[in-house]
Amino acid sequence: MFQIIPTPNYAGFELRGDSSDFKSLLSAIYYLDNEEYLSRFGYHDPMNYFFGFAYEARYALEGRRGFVCMDNHSKLWNYPNKMKLFPEVPEKNLYYAVRIPAVSLLFYIFVSDEIIALDRRFREEARNDLTERAEKESAEALFQFLSVSVFHALDAMIGMKERIILQECLAFERVNNFYLFRNYLTSYTDLLNEMYLSLTKLRRKRLLSAILKDMICYAKNDTYLQIERNVRAWTQVRKISAGTVKFAGYIDWNKINW
């Protein structure tokens, strides 16, 4: 079963698990991918960004982001420039791992609830067969587990009190707006990633909850307009389209101070 722990400098989270864990995650993401239906609801960009989670799972299985070997209580993190690939079925006590920036992983978790809600609506309309329904319900259960695990790991970064406030804010906005993450939020997430990863550990701890609340509450007109201005300025400097989704492609993984 997955372990999710903050990285030493709070840059992100480390997901550890065996090959079956990451394969289950890949399957869960694919089972929730109803692209045509999601596009109909104006949800194409968030779904594309969410699909970046599948890339991370693949990177873990392929050894492209690194691995953790727990055999005989040893620990070895393998960086990309020292890549070593492992067979698809690992040896005993060998666990795969991937490190994901905090803002990205929390975005994946926040968005998963909305994608699941849309998928349920699609199932009601399409009347899927029982086998497919069971697979989708299994995918939902996995993401519920991941959500609980990520929020528990977040306690170490921002404290339980701030984490509870953040969850309450998320729940309140979701009741009032239901679908929160559209439009510029994908590019905005990359912008927040870049800002957050440039900070020291202490400043990361202080600002993470504020950054996430900003992301959640973007639907308010004044906040959204400010976000739009920020994203437009950020994308113009980098000469990229504001609607382009790059799966956190603007991050130099070799320079992250994990």
List pLDDT tens digits, range 130-163: 777 787 788 888 988 999 999 999 998 888 998 8
Cβ neighbours of residue 66 closer than 8 Å, sequence gap 6 or more:
77, 78, 79, 80, 97, 98, 99
Cβ neighbours of residue 180 closer than 8 Å, sequence gap 6 or more:
110, 114, 173, 174, 216, 218, 219
Cβ neighbours of residue 112 closer than 8 Å, sequence gap 6 or more:
32, 50, 143, 146, 147
Question: For residue 164, is pLDDT > 60?
Answer: yes
Structure confidence at residue 83 (pLDDT): 46
Structure confidence at residue 88 (pLDDT): 45
- Of the segments 116-130, 136-150, 165-179, which one has the largest average pLDDT value? 136-150
Structure confidence at residue 246 (pLDDT): 44
Residues listed for the chain: 258
Structure confidence at residue 196 (pLDDT): 83
Distance CA 76, CA 134 (A): 38
* Mean pLDDT for the chain overall: 73
Structure confidence at residue 241 (pLDDT): 57
Distance CA 227, CA 185 (A): 9
Helix (H, G, I), strand (E, B) or coil at 101: strand
Asked if residue 31 lies in contact with residue 100, where contact means CB atoms within 8 angstroms, the answer is no
Cβ neighbours of residue 14 closer than 8 Å, sequence gap 6 or more:
3, 4, 5, 6, 7, 68, 97, 98, 99
Q: Which amino acid is at 234?
A: W
Of 245, 189, 244, whose CA–CA distance to 216 is shortest? 189
Distance CA 216, CA 167 (A): 10
**pTM summary value:** 0.77
Structure tokens at 143: 């993401």
Rounded to an integer, the average pLDDT of 81-85 is 47
Question: For residue 114, is pLDDT > 70?
Answer: yes
Q: Which tens digits make up the pLDDT trace of 4-62? A: 989 889 989 988 888 888 889 988 888 877 666 666 666 666 777 777 888 888 877 77
